Amino acid sequence: MNFMVKGRRVLIGITGGIAAYKVCEVISSLAKAGAEVRGILTKSAEKFITPLTVTTLCRHPVYTDESFWGRESGKPLHIELGEWAEVFVIAPLTANTLAKLEWGIADNLLTSTVLASTMPILLVPAMNTDMWEQPTVQRNWQQIFKICSRYHGISPDIGVLACDRLGVGRMAEPSEILAYTESLLYTDGKRDLIGKKVLISAGGTREYIDPARFIGNPSTGKMGIAVARAAAHRGAEVTLVHAALENGVMTFLDNVKTIAVTSAEQMRQTMLEYHADADITVMAAAVADVKPAEYSTEKLPKKTLGASLPLVPVPDILAELGERKQPHQILVGFAAQTGDIVSPARQKLFEKKLDIIVANPIDQPNSGFGSDTNQVIFADAIGRKVTLPLASKLHVAHHLFDFIRTTIFTGKE
């Protein structure tokens, strides 16, 4: 359920780079999640991983240039694969294959399959920093998205590369590739948020008592990060303000401006600053309701703690955004609830002057804090209500943007 890809058809093209070994994890996760996966290896990819590896992980014979003239259904293989796949992920993508794709060259099974198809394609480059920074490579990388909207991409990250350099060129993490693949299967590659500025908060704020202790909450940030990913995958300009996140939840998020904060007050100031410019604001963070009346710069002895810990309220950021909201802006809140989730969520919707509230049970298995899935209800200010089945948080985020778009079309713009 982590990735909602069951029964979906994903083609993985692997070109010659050391990051090929990391793609094995992508194939394995897709197959375990019930996707049908087929692999194509270029000749140079075969130097890095064996056809047997990919065959075993796909649970299906891999295709190489030797299979080019083979036919499974009477059609040429590149046409058959092009018709079969719903999404084509090319990872790692070398500078060489990028150049071929940019110029429309088809000289092997992988590039011929690209030309003989129309499905969305996810390009995930990996290479040495000097190669990546070549003006020719950069030009190809910029141009390919302008020439053809079916191409999506995840830029390489900074890291220590196999050539021992620290620089840009490291392939995106398997979790990012899997999330983008899941998005493309959901959206069929549509970028319906192009031109929209989306502001999102994620994670749990921390109100420090002294340098060693804080008042916090169990939020891991998974829901807010899923909303940021979904918005970025649909073409929005995304700003993510995140408080404490669970370790490893956020890898490099391509096309997302990330701002780290700790306390509710820091989150408040950052959200107020960016909100003025945002078309859509989604407040997915779990913000503290109270904080210690005073912060002690010295660690307090434990015997002094039990006696009294005076607390003061924290301003409600969402309510403040609701007061400032302009008519063209959409404001979405989350309501973490136990028991009856709809009535208190509706009350928050009206009290905080929101357009949409996501009622989120936190007392159910597989929902709420820390879970990879969520089971939510959307309600809006014009009385509509949609109950979603249990879904991955990325799917919930995409459904939310679909719901937001219907709100925009019913009178916000």
Residues marked active site are found at 163
Q: Which two tokens stand for residue 216?
A: 């916090």
Task: Give the binding range for ligand CTP (CB under 6 A) out of 149-157, 158-166, 254-262, 279-287.
Answer: 279-287
- 374: nearest Cα among 363, 382, 366: 366
Contact pattern from residue 225 through residue 264 relative to ligand CTP, giving x for each residue in contact according to CB under 6 A and a dash for the rest: ---------------------------------------x
For residues 64 and 46, the answer to whether their CB atoms sit within 8 Å is yes
Integer Cα distance of 44 and 88 in angstroms: 19
Residue among 287, 331, 359, 379 that touches ligand CTP (CB under 6 A): 287
Which of 157, 210, 246, 289 is close enough to bind ligand CTP by CB under 6 A?
289
- Chain Cα centroid distance, residue 272: 24
302-321 footprint of ligand CTP as x/- string (CB under 6 A): ------------x-xxx---
Omega cis (within 30) before 313: no
Report the alpha-carbon distance of residue 230 to residue 183 in Å, rounded. Answer: 7
Torsion from C-alpha of 72, 78, 80, 83, nearest 10 degrees: 160
Note whether 404 and 192 are within 8 A (CB).
no
- Any bridge partners for residue 166, and if so which? 160
Contact criterion met (CB below 8 Å) for 185 and 8: yes
Q: Is 283 in the site for ligand CTP (CB under 6 A)?
A: yes
Q: Residue 311: is it exposed, middle or buried by C-beta count within 10 angstroms (0-12/13-18/19+)? A: middle
Structure tokens at 367: 């929902």
Q: How far is the CB of 273 from ligand CTP (least distance, A)?
A: 15
Shortest Å distance, C-beta 217 to ligand CTP: 9
Name which of 238 and 356 has its Cβ closer to ligand CTP.
Answer: 356
From the list 45, 57, 336, 379, which residue makes contact with ligand CTP (rule: CB under 6 A)?
336
Region from 118-126, 294-302, 332-340, 396-404 binding ligand CTP, contact rule CB under 6 A: 332-340
x-or-dash string of contact with ligand CTP, 337-376, rule CB under 6 A: -----------x----------------------------
Q: Please give the residue ranges that form the binding site for ligand CTP (CB under 6 A).
A: 264, 283, 285, 287, 289, 314, 316-318, 333-336, 348
